Structure 1
């Protein structure tokens, strides 16, 4: 086994574990009310859903056509654009005095929908980009089933644990978060080391389009919510949900589809950029308030 193969296998092994732990942690923060809330306040939820699941992939694809980037990075960008929002958006929405309940509902429900939407968007994008080397032995159904076991099942288990062992959840939530973050860091270190000889060139290209996509989506989400959502708190929430994606899920999908870790470089770039831009967004919001 070569060094590159070792790091690729490391990412393949660790990413599903890290993702499952993150989704388990999300499940422990959920209640049935988070799902029922959608029926009580449907307008805000569907504005967020539309921005994240429809507008985000479309804008990502348009940027790919406008900005000249290698096909590997292009498909990597579509993977991160297809990914649902991450749990980080819930935390930052709280700091921004946004609608935390809406943020949690969007993260939870879109994460569950993602087992169908993510494979569809990626395979459809590959067809539009004339990319024919997506592994032929992996179908949309195959990816959906794998995502079901590392996304849906951990969320359900987390909710059951919260219901029957709430004290255990309070004691162990931080530990679960720390382990998942640690595993996430290992995956990204593997990405950087494996592609070190190309990393500067790839990061410049991937970082440029990731920065443009992130800022564009946070801005678009902010103004769409301004016109269609209920208020300022919902506006902040939807903007952050549009800008903060689940990088671990994107890495997991990438490792299932490809044998080259280069497809995960946009995810690594986006993960760094989204944290910087979201913090700047928070500072701007606080200053305006």
Structure 2
């Protein structure tokens, strides 16, 4: 998929999205772990350990083709997306916890993402055609983190500008992701029916399971309702743009990006529907 959409548009899209994340972050967000250690640890354990294991189980059980299987694990290893904060806000989640989880997980993913993806590559014995070198991933994340740091700098120097830019950047991020997904689907249009047949069930199940696990596990372990909702959105709404970027620009295989593109379609629908269910459950009961 060697086109302006990927060579220029994709890095620019990722930069805008990560800059938007930076606009919502402060140093205090990283320190907030001490205020909610239980919620942070449980959510990160679900996202970093439980979800990749579940995803691998789906890949094996559904017998996905190797490149799509690698794409699924790449998606599972990607941190939460900035849209998680918006969904959490809409459905009464603890947005501060979302911001904290996104910030921390984006750093941790520098190490966990290449490990999980390379394990998938080894499992499918694709080392000859696909390679994710750790040094290259560090380089990618350095590119990713620079816009985040710039966003944080803008917020620290001029909170008013950051506040005014936050909504347009969020909307722009959603539009950019939609354009990327459309571009991938158009690029792969000759095989798209087969891809949906191969990976549609897997991505749909993975999205639904991610949202439910992200709520049920923290709730069962004693976190508050708002924290459980935040955890659900953080775990269920992945940074698909990052997964697409690594698949196309680093692994140089568009087919690996297809699960992230298809997941994005399910993600917004399922997260909205699940958030509605949770908000109805947690809404105060009116008495007559």
Distance 1:256 1:159 in 2: 26
**Which aligned pairs between 1:14-93 and structure 2 lie closer than 5 A?**
14-93=9-88
- Decide whether the 8 Å contact of 1:12 with 1:255 is kept in 2: no
1:142 paired residue among 136, 142, 146: 136
2:127 paired residue among 125, 128, 132: 132
Determine if the alignment matches structure 1 residue 174 to structure 2 residue 167: yes
- Decide whether the 8 Å contact of 1:18 with 1:181 is kept in 2: no
- Decide whether the 8 Å contact of 1:134 with 1:257 is kept in 2: no
Determine if the alignment matches structure 1 residue 238 to structure 2 residue 257: no
In the other structure, the counterpart of 2:286 is none
> How far off its partner does 1:275 sit?
0.8
Which deviates more from structure 2 when the two are superposed, residues 92-101 or residues 44-53? 92-101
Q: Which runs of 5+ in 2 are unaligned?
A: 284-288
CA distance 1:21–1:62, change in 2 (3 Å): same
Distance 1:225 1:178 in 2: 29
> How far off its partner does 1:247 sit?
0.7
CA distance 1:113–1:134, change in 2 (3 Å): farther
**Which aligned pairs between 1:96-115 and structure 2 lie closer than 5 A?**
96-115=91-110
In the other structure, the counterpart of 1:156 is 149
Cα distance per residue 1:87-136 (max 9 Å; x no partner): 11111111111111111100111012222221121112211232223545
CA-atom RMSD in angstroms: 1.7
Normalising to structure 1: TM-score of the pair? 0.92
> How far off its partner does 1:79 sit?
1.1
> How far off its partner does 1:180 sit?
3.4
> How far off its partner does 1:214 sit?
1.2
> How far off its partner does 1:178 sit?
4.0
Distance 2:226 2:140 in 1: 35
Q: Which runs of 5+ in 1 are unaligned?
A: none
